[in-house]
Amino acid sequence: MIGGAAATLLSFLALAWTREIVHGFLGLFGADPESHSVKVVSICFAIGWVCLLDVSINVVQAGIRAFIVDNAPTHQQEDANAWAGVILGIGSVLGYLSGYVNLPKILPFFGNTQFKVLSVITCIALGGTVLISSVFITERNPRRDGPPPTGDMGVIAFFKQVYRSARRLSPQIRKVCEVQFFNWIGWFPFLFYITTYIGQLHVNPIFRAHPDMSPKEIDDAWESATRIGSFALLIFAITSFSSNMLLPFLVVPTYRAPPTLKGSNSFHSTRSAHRNGNQSAEPSGTPLPMSASMTSFFPPPPDEASHSRLTRLLSLAQIPWLTLRRAWFLSHLLFALCMALTFFITTPLQATILSGVVGLSWALSLWAPFALISAEISKRDVAARKTGGVNDDQAGVVLGLHNVAISAPQIVATLVSSVIFRIAQKPRGEPGDNSVGWVMRFGGLAALVAAYMTSRLSEDGKGQDEEVKETVEANGERRGSDAV
């Protein structure tokens, strides 16, 4: 996590100051900063750092999610991941708001462009939060799991371990990854092109009224359209953040707290028991009458009677049939419906409202899959420690495979989008270009497939305890035979 954060910070700073770095270095050899060769080198330099940034961000994300898995017991995985979604929502809102502020004027000592100032702020925020988490959160002692595996620990052994983990993924985690594959085929077109889609709706009447606009006038029209599209993304982020705050109060939790810990729903009161391998921290697999996520949003009451009243009050907000899996399933249907509504959207205002509604689905995409995977990993880890078996579902490896299931659809979505643009896109400056709308509708079809895959997920872990124990014991036997 620290290594990924360091690479991310370095990438941001290098990208923000690409021009100065390349011009300064090549200037030592007398190169003209305005020459074509210097521009080509600058582009290649930036591409290299973008590639590193893409890799390092995935490392940070997987590390942070694994941090949650390792430090929260099974019954609080939904709670912890809900809070992660809330923090992500805050970051998104602040990020989009920053686009409306003249940052170089406010913080000139951070840089003379918007991107430079944003990069410095990002580095301070990411570096500071990762440092605080690493210093103040103590991970479970790995020595409690027995001696480390012997043998070759090189690069080839690492990829062998990843391959074994991919083959031995639990059915629940495998299904979540399958859902994510189609889910992100749908999300990538929306996230990439929603600004362009809304901008096109804004410029359509302008292009119809002025069919002979000059290239500069077209650029000016699109600049205004981009600001309108950015505002829609701000609404999208605000809706997502609000949903992340509200949904934990409505969704029925998947696992209940252990009986010995029911007196306190505080995250801190159960974290140490989980980290030390307390056997009572294993979930029973039945729902709580009241979500653990709810009480953790508030400071603990001073006495047990107040706690009981708070529990009863918050339980009234809970929808009995709305489990996390069903909420995620409905979010796919909502996203597909919104993409189908693009057939009837004709104004930027309508598209902005549509973006706000889609924010609800985005909130669940940031919460549900990570909570389901984290709870499964945690549950299997507890079973492995109890039975003395081996849990191949290591948090870092599994979440890395999950990141592959998220990243791979980007290639599919890009290829399909390219074909659609090739067929349907009109020349720049012509009204009525609906190619982006067709790309987003393709994403809606992928969301329907994701909804079907979500319906195949296990509801609440019932009947899975024996399967978990058998799997970790079988993994231990296979690991032993491999060593022989």
> Is the pLDDT reported for residue 287 higher than 50?
no
Please tell me the predicted confidence (pLDDT) of residue 239.
93
What's the DSSP call for residue 261? G
Question: Tens of pLDDT along 221-257?
Answer: 888 888 888 888 889 999 999 998 888 888 887 766 5
Please give the mean pLDDT across all residues of the chain: 79
Please tell me the predicted confidence (pLDDT) of residue 426.
87
Please tell me the predicted confidence (pLDDT) of residue 455.
92
As a whole number, mean pLDDT of residues 111-126 equals 90
> Is the pLDDT reported for residue 362 higher than 90?
yes
Please tell me the predicted confidence (pLDDT) of residue 255.
63
Please tell me the predicted confidence (pLDDT) of residue 60.
87
Q: How does residue 313 score in pLDDT terms, banded at 50, 70 and 90?
A: low
Q: Which residues contact 336 (CB under 8 A, 6 or more apart)?
A: 186, 444, 445, 447, 448, 451
As a whole number, mean pLDDT of residues 344-359 equals 94
Among the listed ranges 76-90, 194-208, 284-298, which one has the minimum average pLDDT value?
284-298
Please tell me the predicted confidence (pLDDT) of residue 268.
39
Q: Tokens at residue 311, please?
A: 């529990």
**Helical pair 18-27 and 2-16, crossing angle rounded to 10 deg:** 70
The rounded percent of the chain whose pLDDT value lies above 70 is 75
> Which has more pLDDT, 166 or 419?
419
Please tell me the predicted confidence (pLDDT) of residue 273.
46
Among the listed ranges 166-170, 267-271, 411-415, which one has the minimum average pLDDT value?
267-271
Q: How does residue 49 score in pLDDT terms, banded at 50, 70 and 90?
A: very high
> Is the pLDDT reported for residue 389 higher than 80?
no
Q: Tokens at residue 253, please?
A: 């939790």
As a whole number, mean pLDDT of residues 280-299 equals 43
Give the highest mean pLDDT range of 29-38, 386-395, 433-442: 433-442
Beta bridge partners of 252: 323
Please tell me the predicted confidence (pLDDT) of residue 334.
97
| Burial per residue of 327-364, b for 16 or more beta-carbon CB atoms within 10 angstroms, e otherwise | bbbbbbbbbbebbebbeebeebeebbbbbbbbbbbbbb
| Burial per residue of 434-449, b for 16 or more beta-carbon CB atoms within 10 angstroms, e otherwise | bbbbbbbbbbbebbbb
Q: Is 106 exposed, middle or buried (0-12, 13-18, 19+ CB in 10 A)?
A: exposed
Please tell me the predicted confidence (pLDDT) of residue 236.
93
Please tell me the predicted confidence (pLDDT) of residue 289.
39
Question: Tens of pLDDT along 317-340?
Answer: 778 888 889 999 999 999 999 999
Query: What are the DSSP calls for 410-445, one per residue?
Result: HHHHHHHHHHHHHHHPPPTT-S---HHHHHHHHHHH
As a whole number, mean pLDDT of residues 367-377 equals 87
Distances (CA, A) of 13 to 40, 108, 123, 145: 20, 16, 8, 40
pTM of the shown model:
0.76
As a whole number, mean pLDDT of residues 433-462 equals 88
Please tell me the predicted confidence (pLDDT) of residue 136.
86
Please tell me the predicted confidence (pLDDT) of residue 348.
92
Q: How does residue 144 score in pLDDT terms, banded at 50, 70 and 90?
A: low
| Angstrom distance (rounded) from CA 291 to CA 285 | 14
Please tell me the predicted confidence (pLDDT) of residue 251.
85
Q: How does residue 270 score in pLDDT terms, banded at 50, 70 and 90?
A: very low
Q: Is 37 exposed, middle or buried (0-12, 13-18, 19+ CB in 10 A)?
A: exposed
> Is the pLDDT reported for residue 483 higher than 80?
no
Please tell me the predicted confidence (pLDDT) of residue 217.
84
